[in-house]
Amino acid sequence: MSAQLQSIKARFGIVGASSLLDAALETALRVAPTDLTVLIMGESGVGKEVFSKIIHALSARKHNDFIAVNCGAIPEGTINSELFGHEKGSFTGAIGDRKGYFEAVNGGTIFLDEIAEMPLDTQSYLLRVLESGEFLRVGSSKVQKTDVRVIAATNVDLEERVRKGKFREDLYYRLSTVPIRVPALKDRREDIPLLFRKFSQDIAEKYRMQPIRLDEQAVFALETYRWPGNIRELKNIAEQLSILSEEREVGAEALRLQMPQLFARNLPIVSDRNGNNAFKTGEYQEREIFYKLLIDMKNDLNDLKALIFELVSSNNLRMPDLSVLRRLQPAFSLSHSEHTGETGVYTQAEPSQSMTESGKVTPIIIEPGKSGNVYDRSEVEDDAPLAMDEIEKEAIRRALKKYNGRRKEAAEELKISERTLYRKIKQYNL
């Protein structure tokens, strides 16, 4: 399949080695020999029409007509006539009979772009064509037949349109027999340098000039941009830089002066230790990855909070006053006894001056070798405060035991996600 993919990319001028792009192309290659309806999804500017041409070119209809129709560009009052034709006198201005696209392209392929903008009444006519191949011209009662393969495309969430009543549910499922999702440029950032190089070479050949090149920092700026216009926007920027730049090698600072929008972010500014702009110092970090890490940490913290509150409520415990705990300094430490070779025994640390004077904290001090004279060992272990990890580990162990190792029920009992529970099981070696 890889050799065939490379051949298709070369034939249709597709540049990129992204796994998401290759997966979309492989789906197109598999569905092309069939007559199944295809729904191509993706943001504006990702190249959905190219995929429709690939499917047509590799199908049995490749020698018949192919036509691309932008449903959003046709007025609502004339779209039925454009698609299905009309009879003379059927409406004002209908001075003669006219064939629609479905009649004119019989035996071929119709690409319906921006299918979400199609009016509801036209959607019902399209559904009939897809199910039976029958249609009516506007102003005619004669049923006509057509054999047309339909490839639809959308840049919006059709399921959301269905929920809002703006798109027929039966038509949605009929169109999405085989869905193909074309990745946005921000999801295939590794292809950005390749695409930029191709566009700069194309414009250089067209106007007989030296192709423009970007240094490492400038390339990094392109890779971290969000690209709302996708490939169309990248091509536009490559053409602008090729024409407007005096130097043929552009750095990050020169790129900033000519294309300041590439450096616009809705996130906090990343700076180095001296407060300088990180693009200038070369220490710029990808903010999107950093914020994703923060979100994951927040989710884990919420799971941990839920676990602690569940432990407190289920064991009739009382939450301590956190404001008091934050003001306290540790007066003792947990260490390993060199004399007894045992763990879990409190030994005295150097108390702070303020704490010894206030007398508010009186730690239990057990000297090695003398614990038996004052406390029984089991009394020490029962009264000693458990570490948070031990509390959490014990709660997880009990939940797993209660549900015979079934993680889903145990996670629900602890009010944490299965992913968090699985990680905790590995962490505590349960």
Both tokens assigned to 285: 């970090």
Rounded Cα distance between 114 and 45, Å, is: 12
Per the model's pLDDT, the better-predicted residue between 91 and 372 turns out to be: 91
Provide mean pLDDT across the span 324-329.
52
Q: Is the pLDDT of residue 359 over 60?
A: no
Domain count, the chain: 3
pLDDT (0 to 100) of residue 348:
42
In a domain, 293, yes or no: no
Q: Tell me, yes or no, whether 154 and 68 share the same domain.
A: yes
Three-class SS state of 316? coil
pLDDT (0 to 100) of residue 374:
42
Q: Tell me, yes or no, whether 65 and 125 share the same domain.
A: yes
In a domain, 234, yes or no: yes
User: How many CA within 13 A on the CB side of residue 213?
Assistant: 5
Q: Domain containing 246 — which CATH number?
A: 1.10.8.60
Would you place residue 322 in the very low, low, confident or very high pLDDT band (cuts 50, 70, 90)? low
Instruction: Output the pTM of the full model.
Output: 0.61
In a domain, 290, yes or no: no
Q: In terms of residue numbers, what domain contains 204?
A: 187-285
Per the model's pLDDT, the better-predicted residue between 330 and 54 turns out to be: 54
Q: Tell me, yes or no, whether 25 and 146 share the same domain.
A: yes
Sign of CA dihedral 37, 41, 48, 5: negative
Would you place residue 303 in the very low, low, confident or very high pLDDT band (cuts 50, 70, 90)? confident
Average pLDDT score over the chain: 80
pLDDT (0 to 100) of residue 367:
44
In a domain, 363, yes or no: yes
Q: Tell me, yes or no, whether 34 and 143 share the same domain.
A: yes
In a domain, 377, yes or no: yes
Q: Is the pLDDT of residue 93 over 50?
A: yes
Query: Residue 193's CB: how many other CB atoms inside 10 A?
Result: 14
Q: Are 149 and 110 in contact (CB under 8 A)?
A: yes
Residue type, 281: T
In a domain, 147, yes or no: yes
Q: Is the pLDDT of residue 152 over 90?
A: yes
Where does a domain end: 131, 154, 183? Answer: 183
Q: Tell me, yes or no, whether 153 and 202 share the same domain.
A: no
pLDDT (0 to 100) of residue 69:
96
pLDDT (0 to 100) of residue 118:
95
Bridge pairing between strands 213-214 and 66-70? unpaired
Q: Tell me, yes or no, whether 349 and 394 share the same domain.
A: yes
Q: Domain containing 78 — which CATH number?
A: 3.40.50.300
Please, what is the angle between helix 388-402 and helix 407-414, to 10°?
130
- Among 50-59, 96-105, 264-273, 351-360, the range scoring the smallest mean pLDDT is 351-360
In a domain, 113, yes or no: yes
Q: Are 107 and 148 in contact (CB under 8 A)?
A: yes
Q: Are 263 and 221 in contact (CB under 8 A)?
A: yes
Q: Tell me, yes or no, whether 119 and 146 share the same domain.
A: yes
Where does a domain end: 183, 204, 231? Answer: 183
Q: Is the pLDDT of residue 20 over 70?
A: yes
Q: CB within 8 A of 344, min separation 6: which ones?
A: 334, 380, 381, 384
Q: Is the pLDDT of residue 174 over 90?
A: yes
Q: Are 380 and 371 in contact (CB under 8 A)?
A: yes
Q: Is the pLDDT of residue 30 over 80?
A: yes
What percent of the chain clears pLDDT 70, i.e. is strictly above it? 76
Angle, alpha carbons 233-237-243 (nearest 5°): 145
Q: Tell me, yes or no, whether 22 and 127 share the same domain.
A: yes
pLDDT (0 to 100) of residue 280:
45
Provide mean pLDDT across the span 348-371.
43
Rounded Cα distance between 268 and 251, Å, is: 23
Element of type H or E holding 320: none
Three-class SS state of 230? helix
Q: Tell me, yes or no, whether 160 and 258 share the same domain.
A: no
Q: Is the pLDDT of residue 339 over 70?
A: no
Would you place residue 231 in the very low, low, confident or very high pLDDT band (cuts 50, 70, 90)? very high
Provide mean pLDDT across the span 91-111.
90
Q: Which of 172-186, 294-308, 315-329 has the highest mean pLDDT?
A: 172-186
Where does a domain end: 124, 152, 183? Answer: 183
Would you place residue 158 in the very low, low, confident or very high pLDDT band (cuts 50, 70, 90)? very high
Q: Is the pLDDT of residue 351 over 90?
A: no
- Among 18-22, 34-38, 236-240, 385-389, the range scoring the smallest mean pLDDT is 385-389
CA 366 to chain CA mean position, Å: 56
In a domain, 118, yes or no: yes
Both tokens assigned to 370: 């003398």
Would you place residue 190 in the very low, low, confident or very high pLDDT band (cuts 50, 70, 90)? very high
Per the model's pLDDT, the better-predicted residue between 176 and 353 turns out to be: 176
pLDDT (0 to 100) of residue 373:
43
What percent of the chain clears pLDDT 90, i.e. is strictly above it? 48
Three-class SS state of 143? strand
Q: CB within 8 A of 39, min separation 6: which ones?
A: 115, 152, 153, 154, 158, 175, 176, 177, 178, 179, 180
Backbone torsions φ then ψ of 376, nearest 5 degrees: -75, 145
pLDDT (0 to 100) of residue 288:
53
Q: Are 94 and 78 in contact (CB under 8 A)?
A: no
Q: Are 269 and 263 in contact (CB under 8 A)?
A: no
Most distant CA atoms of the chain, gap in Å: 114
CA 222 to chain CA mean position, Å: 19
Q: Tell me, yes or no, whether 30 and 82 share the same domain.
A: yes
Rounded Cα distance between 414 and 359, Å, is: 38
Q: Are 424 and 308 in contact (CB under 8 A)?
A: no
Q: Tell me, yes or no, whether 169 and 254 share the same domain.
A: no
Q: Tell me, yes or no, whether 58 and 103 share the same domain.
A: yes
